[in-house]
Amino acid sequence: MTTTHETNLVDVIVADHRAVEAAFQELEAGIGGEAHRRDLVDHVITELVRHSVAEEQHMYPAARRVLPGGDELADHEIAEHAEAERVMKELERLSPGEAEFERLLTELIRDIRHHVEDEERDLLPRLAAACSPEELRDLGDKVVKAKRIAPTRPHPAAPDTPPANLLLDAGTGMIDRLRDALSGRKH
């Protein structure tokens, strides 16, 4: 059984942030060879895509509903996701060791750290103050469930706002997981 702490929206989002940061630190430390680096970057991309999809499906619509200026805040966050997704799509086609791969990875890490800082400093505290504990648990549950069926690869041209993203993300996620299984891509 899942505890309240595990499914509180803020805790779920922050736990995802910390997991990605740990992978970033390993990438920056240069641990392992090129194959390990490729696997780690693929893992980061998978986690970032799943996290972003879940935020776009549930957290940002909640921000639009409950926060003054929520539309502008959500639009800003979604624009940052779109840029990160573009970079991740480019990273997928490159190999570790290529100068462009390393440049794009450095850009992605910098941009995601900025995004995380913004969310943790501004958006998450505001949502925590505006939502009841029950709403935060419900949103956390929805984010966890959305991540299970979300796409695992970047799709920069896909819709990132409801209702279109809610309709298409599950199908895209199923196709991505099939591609991952066939290619041996690890999560």
Interval 103-122: pLDDT, tens: 999 999 999 999 999 999 99
User: Domain containing 99 — which CATH number?
Assistant: 1.20.120
Output the average pLDDT for the chain.
86
Q: Could you tell me which of 158, 135, 157, 170 has the C-alpha nearest to residue 59?
A: 135
Q: How many domains does the chain have?
A: 1
Does residue 151 or residue 3 have the better pLDDT?
151
Range of the domain at 69: 4-183
Within 13 Å, how many C-alpha atoms sit on residue 134's CB side?
A: 0
In a 13 Å sphere around the CA of 101, the CA atoms on its Cβ side amount to 13
Amino acid at 142: K
Question: Cβ–Cβ contacts within 10 Å for residue 159, how many?
Answer: 14
* pLDDT, tens digit (0-9, with 9 covering 90-100), for 57-70: 999 999 999 999 99
Note the pLDDT tens digit of each residue in 144-182.
999 998 877 766 655 455 554 554 555 555 555 555 556
pTM beyond 0.95: the answer is no
Query: What pLDDT is attached to residue 150?
Result: 81
| DSSP secondary structure of the chain | ---HHHH-HHHHHHHHHHHHHHHHHHHHHT-S-HHHHHHHHHHHHHHHHHHHHHIIIIIHHHHHHHSTTHHHHHHHHHHHHHHHHHHHHHHHTS-TTSHHHHHHHHHHHHHHHHHHHHIIIIIHHHHHHHS-HHHHHHHHHHHHHHHHHS-SS--TTS--STTHHHHHHHHHHHHHHHHHHHHT---
Contacts of 169 (CB under 8 A, 6+ apart): 53, 57, 146, 149, 150, 151, 158
Residue predicted with more confidence, 8 or 168: 8
Per the structure block, which two tokens stand in for 161? 């706002």
